[in-house]
Amino acid sequence: MDQKQISKEILLRMVKSFTTNEVAPFDMEIDHTRSYVNDLFNKIKKYDFLSTMLPKEYGGAGFDGETTAAMINEIARGNASLAVTLEGHFKSIDQIVKYGNQALKDEYLPQSKSRIIAFSMTEPSGGSNPLGIASHAEKKGDKWIINGDKIMITNGGLAEIYCVLVKTAPKELSFFVVDKDMPGFEYGKQENFLGLTGVPVGEIVMNNIEVDENHLLGKIGMGKEIGDSAHNDARVLMGAVLTGIMEHELNIVTDYATHRKAIDTPIIQMQGIQRKIADIAVAKETTKLLYQKAAWLKDHRQDYEQEAAMAKAYGSRSAVKSGDNALQILGGYGYSLDYPVEHLIRDARAMEIAEGTVEKMRTEIALIEAKNRA
């Protein structure tokens, strides 16, 4: 084993034990209370989970995409919300690493060890269509003045640093980095979402926030490219979250079907039940292979856009369908709020919308398919 493999093994040993002891037992409570009970968020900080993929030169652990995704997968087996909170942070760090100028990196990357960074594009007037946004930045002297309203931000309210998409001209999109401590920054309303209820998703309002030129991410007009890049990175990790959700579903149904009897036969012996469990298992494994391939391509500096879209598009639909199968296997208990299956369906459902709707991803997958043949 080389250093990379040994590090990965040690990380995954730790994450497995952390998930089993600190996360999984609190899954239902996190869902019901809409918060990270058991002091979970502080524990995540204490053991430096936030620095998993942060490059070593900024004080991080420098794990690659494959290992980071495997870690997210493992945590999602215990609780999908916590995994999504980390996913949102990691994809934001990824964009600062890729597009930030040196001054921006030196300022914010070391801080990302303890302060969450969020990525915000969506506005009341535009989600799938970025040009529909109204937020804008104007240059005054050597400063930029930012105004606007951003909604539905993963970790909104919990995060302290935000990459925000704004217009710098009517058809020109650019990204800036703002900090909650800047004058003119305000937290807005929290969403009342159906699933992933542990993740705070919320709004920020920007009133004449003044930033230096070095808070520009990439160059003026690179908004679309950076947004797409963030989507790609997020989708790899969401494939991992969805795999974890399906593993959780499989744990529940195999245990239940082994012990539940119809007359005196465990229901796992019945073909109708077996088909459902087999379908969940195949969907789980397929999603896992898709996200692992996307992560591998990313680590080897090859195109991973299509595989990332496939992992999320296929994985999200499959996890919802698998959840429905799991609910059916548990019968009345599956339909109860006192059992965990129903919230797994709600959790998975979010990922048919967040980071690009499945409809948009199908378009992207098809267009890449056509481009590859042109």
Partner 1 sequence: MKIVVCIKQVPETTNVKIDEKTKNIDRRGLGGVINSYDLHALKAALDIKNQVGGEVITLTMGPDDFAVSLQETLALGADKSVLLSDRAFAGADTLATGYVLGKAIEKIGNVDLVLLGQQSVDADTGQVGPIIAELLQVSQVTYADKMIAKNENLLIKRNLGTVEQEITAKLPLLATITETINEPEYTNVVEIAKSFDKTITTWHAKDLDLEDSRVGQAGSPTIVCSISSPEKVVKQGHKLADDPVAAAKELVAALKKQNVLAEDE
Ligand X SMILES: Cc1cc2nc3c(=O)[nH]c(=O)nc-3n(C[C@H](O)[C@H](O)[C@H](O)COP(=O)(O)OP(=O)(O)OC[C@H]3O[C@@H](n4cnc5c(N)ncnc54)[C@H](O)[C@@H]3O)c2cc1C
Residues that bind ligand X (CB under 6 A): 88, 119-122, 127-129, 152-154, 193, 196, 201, 350, 353-354, 357, 359-360, 363
Contact partner, 213, from ligand X, partner 1, none, Cβ < 5-8 Å per class: none
Give SS3 for 205: strand
Cα-Cα-Cα-Cα dihedral sign, residues 57, 116, 11, 280:
negative
Report how far residue 179's alpha carbon sits from residue 177's, in angstroms, rounded to the nearest whole number. 7
Consecutive H or E run containing 278: helix 271-299
Report how far residue 70's alpha carbon sits from residue 351's, in angstroms, rounded to the nearest whole number. 18
What is the smallest separation between the CB atom of 261 and ligand X, expressed in angstroms? 39
Pick the closer one to partner 1 by CB: 52 or 92: 52
Of 61, 121, 238, 348, the residue at the interface with partner 1 (CB under 8 A) is 61
267-to-150, 246, 282, 322, 326 alpha-carbon distances in Å: 49, 20, 20, 18, 13
Contact partner, 197, from ligand X, partner 1, none, Cβ < 5-8 Å per class: none
The closest residue (CB) to ligand X is: 127
Pick the closer one to partner 1 by CB: 50 or 313: 50
DSSP letter (8 states) at residue 267: G
Could you tell me if 202 and 251 are in contact, meaning their C-beta atoms sit under 8 angstroms apart? no
Q: Is residue 64 a contact point for partner 1 (CB under 8 A)?
A: no
Q: Is residue 259 a contact point for partner 1 (CB under 8 A)?
A: no
Contact partner, 52, from partner 1, ligand X, none, Cβ < 5-8 Å per class: partner 1
Contact partner, 256, from partner 1, ligand X, none, Cβ < 5-8 Å per class: none
Q: Is residue 10 a contact point for partner 1 (CB under 8 A)?
A: yes
Task: For residue 372, count other CB atoms closer than 10 A to its CB.
Answer: 9
What is the dihedral angle through the alpha carbons of 219, 370, 236, 199, rounded to the nearest 10 degrees? 80
Query: 267 φ, ψ to 5°?
Result: -65, -15
Q: Which two tokens stand for residue 361?
A: 């991803």
Q: Which of the residues 92 through 131 are near partner 1 (CB under 8 A)?
A: 113
What is the smallest separation between the CB atom of 334 and ligand X, expressed in angstroms? 23
Binding site for partner 1 (CB under 8 A): 1, 3, 6-7, 9-11, 13-14, 17-18, 46-49, 51-52, 56, 59-63, 113
